[in-house]
Amino acid sequence: MPKNSVFVNSFESVCCAGESSETLFEAICAQQSGIKIFDEFIQNKPIALGKIEKPFSIEAILELTCKKVLTQSGLENFADTLLVVGSSVGGMQITEGIFLKEHAYTNIDPKLHVIDAIAHILSSKFSFKDDISFSTACTSSANALGYAYEMIAKGVYENVLVVGFDTLSLTTIRGFDALGVLSSRPCQPFDVNRDGMNVAEGIAVLLLQNKPHEKSIELLGVGYSSDAHHMAHPSPDGAGALFAMQQALKCANVEPHAVGYVNAHGTGTSANDASEACAIESLFGSNAYVSSTKSITGHTLGAAGALEAIICVMALQKQIVPPNTHLVEPENKTLDLVKVAKPHTFRYALSNSLAFGGNNTSLLFGLLQ
């Protein structure tokens, strides 16, 4: 079966650092973090989080974001479009809000709690041909993009809408606190003085299609791995992340030396950054520019893969390498960890998403030939 090409033709995002993808990329280049300090989530402990300042519900923002992508696309509707959602907590915040207010389960709608709650909400606002939801922790929307890639490449669908979505669920925040990985300040990925991550909420919506537009960026390859080293910690040598990156390049038939930019998962935790840096060094040495943008956006969990895919797409369109913010003293001395936004001519960008259980996904994007 001949393989169809897959193009990112329309996209939009909302997170703590920007109410649109354009304002987000400007904030990243200007190194203006959206992370703020909050003391109401954990008793007697201030923590740094990425919260969307919203006058109305995040579900309403999600609907508006999808409408913007529909307008950009030129499609009349999503009737012939597959919806693929990636989320780590689904509608948990909705049910938390009800329970914490009423201290009872009576008014909780199960359909608005489970992982496909986001697809359920969107399907009530738009008409999709079908939908599927992924929940694989921090690789959720990266895996959603991978599934979309396969559906278009195999000719099953011509249009696939990928939605990455996660909110600041109290259960999630306290869960990461129990793991001892939350920072009380904006995170410092890859820095020797890093002390943890910043949980954040985010929305990222991308329309993938089998035909290009004028400003399209191609999704060229997807790589997966599962090193199963530990339930929460990655393999110290980065074997899982390395294999996922190698598979993405193999899928696209692209050599490592051709990749100009790697958007690292880079959470700011000790274990993740050391492992991922080892993996990137093993594959690229100092030949690719590397940065984590989570010091600006926070870690949007299930939405991170889709949000950082948008960042890679915009980096290619604008030919600008996003910088590492708050990076003072890099732990890894080999990687080219850029400290300021860098104009650069490059054709390929790789995005890493790494999750609990050694679940790893890499996505390779490229300019049209």
pLDDT digits (tens, 9 = 90+) for 79-127: 999 999 999 988 888 888 888 888 888 888 888 888 899 999 999 999 9
Nearest Cα to Cα of residue 281 among 321, 337, 229, 227: 337
Does residue 299 have an active-site annotation? yes
pLDDT in tens, 172-198: 999 999 999 999 999 999 999 999 999
pLDDT of residue 105: 82
Of the candidates 29, 66, 138, 187, the residue annotated as catalytic is 138
- 265 catalytic? Reply is yes
What confidence score (pLDDT) does residue 1 get? 44
Residue-wise pLDDT for 17-70, tens only, equals 999 999 999 999 999 999 999 999 999 999 999 999 988 889 999 999 999 999
- Which amino acid type is present at position 172? T
**CA gap 197, 240 in Å, rounded:** 21
103 is catalytic: no
Q: Mean pLDDT over all residues of the chain?
A: 95
Q: Which of 16, 29, 265, 326 is catalytic?
A: 265
Q: Which of 16, 29, 251, 299 is catalytic?
A: 299
pLDDT category at 2 given cuts 50, 70, 90 is low
The tokens for 154 are 């195999």
What is the tens place of the pLDDT at every residue in 137-179? 999 999 999 999 999 999 999 999 999 999 999 999 999 999 9
Residue 286 has pLDDT above 50, yes or no: yes
Nearest-Å Rg of the Cα atoms of the chain is 19
Closest of 266, 137, 142 to residue 196, by C-alpha: 266
Q: Can you give the pLDDT at residue 211?
A: 97
How many other C-beta atoms can be found within 10 angstroms of the C-beta atom of residue 264? 28
Which domains does the chain possess? Answer: 7-366 (3.40.47.10)
| Residue ranges in 106-238 assigned as alpha helix (H) | 117-123, 140-153, 170-178
Please state, in angstroms and as integers, the Cα–Cα distance from residue 354 to each residue in 31, 226, 320, following that order. Answer: 24, 10, 24
- What tokens does 136 get? 């694989």
pTM of the full structure = 0.96
